[in-house]
Structure 1
Amino acid sequence: MDSLYIHTKVDSILNDAIVKQAFPGAQVLVAKNHKIIFHKAYGFHSYDSLVKVSLNDVYDLASVTKILGPLPAIMKLYDEGKIDLDLPFSKYWKPWKGRSDKKNLSLREILAHQAGLEPYIVFLNEVLKKDKTVKPRFIQKKDKNRFTSQAYKQLFVKDRFKNKMYRQITRSKVSEEKKYTYSGLAFLLFPKLISDITNVDYALYLQEQFYTPLGASSLGYLPEHRSLSNAIVPTEYDSVFRKELTQNWVHDENAALMGGISGNAGLFGSAMDLAKIMQMYANYGYYNYKQYISKRTLKEFTKVQYPENDNRRGLGFDKPLLGNDTLDITQSYPAPEVSQESFGHGGFTGTFVWADPKNDLVFIFLSNRVYPSRTHRNIYELNIRPKVQQVFYQAIKEMKINK
């Protein structure tokens, strides 16, 4: 592959994005044929240009958590016959048994975002008064009896607030029309479900079964409580809840109110460690002489589930747009050249991971596009991530032509 072409093109896209304030900094890692062929950092942690982005920096992964947190655990439990994709989810999450609109929803429908669940519930509204100060019955400034779940430096959530969240999710509406609607609600339930089935703390289960054996030492929840030597990139200046620049703590408010450990968000990790788990996925569950998840299961979870409903999704995993290879780069998601077997996920904070088994390509893009505010949307408007990803596919194409 033409190294000069790759570096010139990626440098141009990323430097232009920084100038146009799509994000203050970013990094890109690409592995091809099981080898890292590109890993480069750009810009700074913030627009004051004080701290340069480093290759081992740790990022708030936002929704990328969904496929690196609860999903590997669910796939392993599926492998072991402990869960069934097509039985009612209420078999495992008992509160849904009494809800006529939820009792027959399957885990397959939920993971493929085909169940008709509401996209999101803003639980922050439950803990704030009209003047945006916290309600003391839900939030305290110190760790004390019944307030041991930590949302931020000096913000402790009532331990039973999780139950209130679970109840609201149970009572939330379900659309009668079964069509693709992205929803993160069930992912808030998955950590407890996984703990209940395994009889092991959810975060500990992930560490023991996946992150530690993979050698992904930076990957995990609650970075403030772990002895990481890596710098953690800041996210958003939060003027509503945390009243300062959010750093070392999860950006997503729902995950924060769950004490930082959730299935919808909350994971932090470095590009190198993300590459390890995504390479394991690209190898259909195999990495470094160990089969973590069966090939059969990975193939099932990474295939499009409901194409007849114009739904591109796999189970938990995102997939290319239907007909993506016929689209221009301005319309495609992700790059039009990715294979139909490829899969991954994006995150609200500006993160993106993608694995392409057919081309044996792993693509990791990390940024903090929500700095200083989530209103910064140039990462989308400028189509940064697909454009960068496309560079590597074009380089592969040129290499094949030149052969």
Structure 2
Amino acid sequence: MKIVSFVFLFVSLQLLQAQEGTGTPLNLGVKDALIYGNPFEVGLDSTYINTNVKKIITNGIKNNAFPGAQVLVAKNRKIIFHKAYGYHTYDSIQPVALDDIYDLASVTKITAALPALMKLVDEGKLDVDAPFSNYWKRWKNEKDKENITLREILAHQAGLEPYIVFLNEVFKKNKKLKRRFIHSSPNRRFQNQAYDGLFVKNKFNKKMYRLIDRSEVSAEKKYKYSGLAFLIFPQLIEQLTGESYDYYLEKNFYLPLNTPTMGFKPKTKGFPNPIVPTEIDTLFRHTLTQGWVHDENAALLGGISGNAGLFATATDLAKLMQMYMQYGVYDGKRYLSEATVKEFTRVQFPENDNRRGLGFDKPSLNNSELSLSKAYPAPEVGTSSFGHSGFTGTFVWADPENQMVYIFLSNRVNPTRDNRNLYNLNIRPAVQQIFYKATLPSK
């Protein structure tokens, strides 16, 4: 069955190449699929949009927020804006192109782990209000974790630690890699590739699970963002479906949605599209990271994880977000039930000052009352809107009330993750706001 999926992938890529500059082809004949249009068709001022978006992005490049970026916006099922700016790196050699593939970082959480979990909820194989230990049995032996529910985990309300630096486990005190965990070439026990010349022990995930088991849980149940459970979800999904995590996603979502670039380990797939590089890694990979996941925890899982590791083009991302915005339907096919999508995209614990949905990020609770500098994201977004951001400089957002999908892709971690001007200049919400303020006056 794997062979069949990759044949489909190859055919899809031929279509991708045939439609140069636009990413994956769009279905022009189905009323709930994306088509191309222009701002005027949906009542927006094209001149205002182009002028102001270019101004914000150019200022970001000038101030080293990122070497390049691209923005895609779909409104009323029409992609009315998709433009690329700048270069892959600050040497200005490779211009950003509309069909470039990006490392999505934590956007993976809602584009890989989450659709699988939602489908399992639909099928009755998961209950968000049951103890997670009913499914992840090893937590039955952890008193501080045995009663935590999946709802609490996905809403970041469980008190789990935010992050564990598992990379510390593979280094000796002299900063050299431990041979028992990392090899420079593959063999039967070392098949999980983290990068060129870096292969991780197959069973390293078991060590990660043990450290997660032993991690502290806060007694106070309040909002505390944690990605730890997303490292567990791929194994859980495999247990519940009997299929590998990446194949399950391919079969049920990415292939039927016709999003061929969406997936893990793009370096191994021979895409014609350029893959945008991320950080110059001075610790683990000792080179410019490109084609392999930036996040070290995902890398130690062989690049396939629930917290990070997914790559995609902007147009492929737009299709998945449009499917969510249409509450589970796209191009005439239902992927998820409307009830499940609505449940996952609503605020779960507002009484605890927690804005989050289940896996999805949501606007600040009083967002419309805030200025752009304090709002998250743009203050004009609808209360039913949802999305997620990524550490590498990515951002996706869907707004059902305003029928708008917003995709922002950049590699702000190039050349180093210490660069935070993307946040300091508030670029992603500022660009998003342009499309809400561009309404043409009614005649």
The equivalent of 1:157 in structure 2 is: 200
For 1:133, which of 171, 176, 182 is the aligned residue?
A: 176
The equivalent of 2:442 in structure 1 is: 402
How far 1:157 sits from its partner (Å)? 0.6
How far 1:402 sits from its partner (Å)? 2.6
- Per mean C-alpha deviation after superposition, the further-off stretch among 131-140 and 304-313 is 131-140
SS at match of 2:256: helix
Alpha-carbon distance in 2 for matches of 1:270, 1:263? 18
How far 1:228 sits from its partner (Å)? 1.0
Alpha-carbon distance in 2 for matches of 1:130, 1:368? 31
Residue deviations 1:149-175 (CA, integer Å, cap 9, x gap): 111110111111110001110111100
Alpha carbons 1:282, 1:357 under 8 Å: kept: yes
SS at match of 1:402: coil
Residue deviations 1:321-341 (CA, integer Å, cap 9, x gap): 110000000000000000000
Given the two structures, how large is their TM-score scaled by the length of structure 2? 0.90
Alpha-carbon distance in 2 for matches of 1:309, 1:13? 35
SS at match of 1:213: coil
Alpha carbons 1:132, 1:241 under 8 Å: kept: no
How far 1:144 sits from its partner (Å)? 1.4
The equivalent of 2:24 in structure 1 is: none
The equivalent of 2:355 in structure 1 is: 312
Alpha-carbon distance in 1 for matches of 2:195, 2:136? 29
Alpha-carbon distance in 1 for matches of 2:394, 2:227? 17
Alpha-carbon distance in 1 for matches of 2:185, 2:171? 17
For 2:137, which of 76, 94, 97 is the aligned residue?
A: 94
Alpha-carbon distance in 2 for matches of 1:358, 1:75? 22
How far 1:145 sits from its partner (Å)? 2.7
Alpha-carbon distance in 1 for matches of 2:192, 2:384? 40
**1:3-402 equivalences in 2 (<5 Å):** 3-395=46-438, 398-399=439-440, 401-402=441-442
Alpha-carbon distance in 2 for matches of 1:145, 1:289? 44
How far 1:225 sits from its partner (Å)? 1.2
Extract unaligned runs of 5+ from structure 1.
none
SS at match of 2:360: coil
Alpha-carbon distance in 1 for matches of 2:119, 2:182? 36
Residue deviations 1:95-147 (CA, integer Å, cap 9, x gap): 00011100000000000000000000000000012232211111010101311
SS at match of 2:362: coil
Aligned letter for 1:244?
T
Alpha carbons 1:13, 1:384 under 8 Å: kept: yes
Stretches (4+) displaced over 3 A = none
Alpha-carbon distance in 1 for matches of 2:304, 2:81? 31
Alpha-carbon distance in 1 for matches of 2:176, 2:47? 53
Aligned letter for 2:79?
I
Aligned letter for 1:382?
L
Given the two structures, how large is their TM-score scaled by the length of structure 1? 0.99
Extract unaligned runs of 5+ from structure 2.
1-43
Alpha-carbon distance in 1 for matches of 2:416, 2:365? 32
Alpha-carbon distance in 1 for matches of 2:233, 2:97? 33
How far 1:262 sits from its partner (Å)? 0.3
How far 1:229 sits from its partner (Å)? 1.1
SS at match of 2:263: coil
Residues matched between the structures, number? 400
Alpha-carbon distance in 2 for matches of 1:303, 1:362? 17
Q: Percent identity?
A: 64
Residue deviations 1:44-96 (CA, integer Å, cap 9, x gap): 00000000000000000000000000100000010111100000000000000
